[in-house]
Amino acid sequence: MLSANTDVLWKMLNDPKVLEKVTPGIKTLEAQGEDSYKAISEVKIGPVKGEFKGDLALKDKVEGESCVVVLDQKSKMGNVVAEIGMTLVQKEENQTEVQYTGEAKMSGMLARMGQRIMSGVVSTLSKQFFQAMEKELQDSQ
């Protein structure tokens, strides 16, 4: 649950500067087309640590309602393709529930060594993402 209207959130999700700030681990985010960015991220959770390079894209956008964030990140430890579907539901004024589903496909060493802890990693990262969003909201107000 985030303290904003859907349209405010929607704008934030479409603003690379905000995304760069709130997405855990993102070091740089560079727009390379509409809804498509080049991302360099560094993630460290437990034994999983590494610099990832790749694309971040928004697709299946329904204005003000839902979108899918597609992350395609490559690293020396292996690659991650993650699709995070987000649906924004306005609950009351300045209260929006964000429903999200995530699916990540890993390869390489990440898949071999990381799979067991990956669901934990995904939930930690998601939490960090929404905490950062909330903070961003408060800061912008």
Partner 1 sequence: MEKFIGKSVKRREDARFLKGAGKYTDDIKLPKMTQSAFVRSPYAHAKILSVDISEAEKAEGVVAVFTAQDGCGEYGVPCGWQVDFKNGETMREPQHPLLAKEKIRHLGEAVAIVIAESLELARDAAELVEVEYEELPAVTDPKKAMEEGAPLVHDQWPDNAAFDWCIGNDRADVEAALATAHHVTEVEYHNQRLAPNAMEPRSYIADYDVNADKWTLYTSTQNPHLIRLLLCAFALGIPEHKVRVVSYDVGGGFGSKIYHYTEEALLTWASKEIGRPIKWTSDRSEAFLTDAHGRDHVVHSRMGFDKDGKIVAHLTDEFCGLGAYLSTFAPAVPTYLHGTLFQGVYTTPLIHLNVTAPFTHTVAVDAYRGAGRPEATYLLERIISKGAQEMNMDPTEIRLKNFIPPFDGVEQPGYQTQVALQYDSGNYHGVLKRGLEMLGYEDFRKEQKEARENGRLLGVGFSTYIEGCGIAPSAVVGALGARAGLYEVGQVRVQPTGKVSVYTGAHSHGQGHETVFAQFVADKLGIPMDDVEIEHGDTEQVAFGMGTYGSRSLAVGGSAIVKSIEKILEKGAKIAAHKLEAAEGDLEYAEGKWTVKGTDKSVSFGDVSLTAYVPHDYPEGLEPGLDFSSFYDPTNFTYPFGTHIAVVEVDPDTGKVDLKRFVACDDVGNVMNPMIVDGQIQGGVAQGVGQALLEEVVYDEGGQMITGSYMDYAMPRADDLPMIETDRTVTPCPHNPLGVKGAGEAGAIGSTPAVVNAVVDALAHLGVTDLQMPLTPQRVWKAMQN
The span from the CA of 1 to the CA of 47, in Å, is 30
Contact stretch for partner 1 (CB under 8 A) within 5-13, 15-23, 104-112, 126-134? 104-112
Going by C-beta distance under 8 Å and a sequence separation of 6 or more, which residues neighbour residue 79? 54, 72, 73, 106, 107, 108, 110
Mark out the alpha helices in the chain (DSSP H runs): 6-13, 16-22, 108-109, 115-140
Would you count residue 82 as binding partner 1 (CB under 8 A)? Answer: no
Closer CB to partner 1, 93 or 116, in the complex: 116
Closer CB to partner 1, 111 or 121, in the complex: 111
Would you count residue 79 as binding partner 1 (CB under 8 A)? Answer: yes
Closer CB to partner 1, 68 or 109, in the complex: 109
Q: What element of type H or E holds 68?
A: strand 66-75
Would you count residue 40 as binding partner 1 (CB under 8 A)? Answer: no
Please calculate the CA angle 115-119-120 and round it to the nearest 5 degrees: 110
Would you count residue 109 as binding partner 1 (CB under 8 A)? Answer: yes
Token pair for 2: 């985030």
Would you count residue 49 as binding partner 1 (CB under 8 A)? Answer: no
Closer CB to partner 1, 7 or 103, in the complex: 103
For binding to partner 1 (CB under 8 A), which residues are involved?
A: 76, 78-79, 105-109, 111-113, 115-116
